[in-house]
Amino acid sequence: MSACKTFKTIRQSLLIAVTSATLLVGCGQPDSRSTSDIVSETSSTLDLNDAQAREMARVVDNARPELELLKEIRVQLREEMLAQMQQDEVNAEDLTALLEAKWASVHAKLPALAQKFTEFHKMLTPEQRTKVKERMSKGLESNHFERLQSSNTSRIVFGMSIALDLDDLQEREISNLINTLRSKAAEIKQQHKEIREEIYEQMQQDSVNVQDIEALLDVRWSEVKSKLPLLAQGFTSLHTILTPEQRMKISEKLEKRWESGKHGNR
């Protein structure tokens, strides 16, 4: 089991809300791709006609400001995580405040995101909306909390121990931390299921109301906000367990992975 998978679990938990909002717009990773590429791929998948392709291009272009904000928040969180990991001490309350401030900036964009979802829905035929629903279903079912549940704690700790040369006490503490996060995963998984079902229902309707979509997004936003203290505490606990040298190794692995992903999206 690669140790970086465990590091990725902590990182992905902090970023799950950002990627969820992007997915609801139905555009994948538009911040790193041109409008023509997105329209071309969507046209191929959904067999869009010329009028639909033009409308799709308009929706994507109009969504750029919101999606660029989400991208900026991701980058800022990554940079802050690297900085926090290398500090001598981390305060869970301060980290929670930071996450809540970043997440609050997303809330202001919910009306615009709801409008883009509504426009995307309106331009599609019922058959095309069914295809979109199937793609969204596949993407949302592979969520990070389900992967955390399916991972064996001992394997994760073993991988981290090899990578970081953990002592026996550190292994026990990290095992307890993982099990604590796992205990919350069932509740979070059920909330995700309920949100998914509402999204599917909206996508299958003949028409959608922008206020209803905004309310759905607001529920999702509030759900994630309520978990930020837990995520901050998990990060703080991991920081406390590790030595400065081990934290440096984690920072280096995270930075390399993010740089690799950034180059891969170009």
* 25 in Cβ contact with 63 (< 8 Å): yes
pTM for the whole structure: 0.66
d(CA 61, CA 11): 29
Q: Is 91 left (phi over 0), alpha (psi -120 to 50) or beta?
A: beta
CA distances from 120 to 60, 149, 201, 206, 228 (A): 9, 34, 15, 13, 30
- Inter-residue contact 252 to 97 (CB < 8 Å): no
- Say which DSSP state 165 is in: T
Per-residue pLDDT of the chain (266 residues; tens, 9 = 90+): 444 444 444 344 333 333 333 333 333 444 567 888 888 888 888 888 999 989 888 888 888 887 787 778 878 888 888 888 888 888 889 888 888 888 888 888 888 888 888 888 888 898 888 888 777 666 555 444 455 555 678 888 888 888 888 899 999 999 888 888 776 666 666 766 777 777 778 877 888 888 888 888 888 788 778 888 888 888 899 899 999 999 988 888 878 877 776 655 54
Ordered by start, the domain boundaries in the chain are 3-264
Sorted by sequence, the CB contacts under 8 Å of residue 21 that are 6+ apart come out as 70, 106, 109, 113, 217, 220
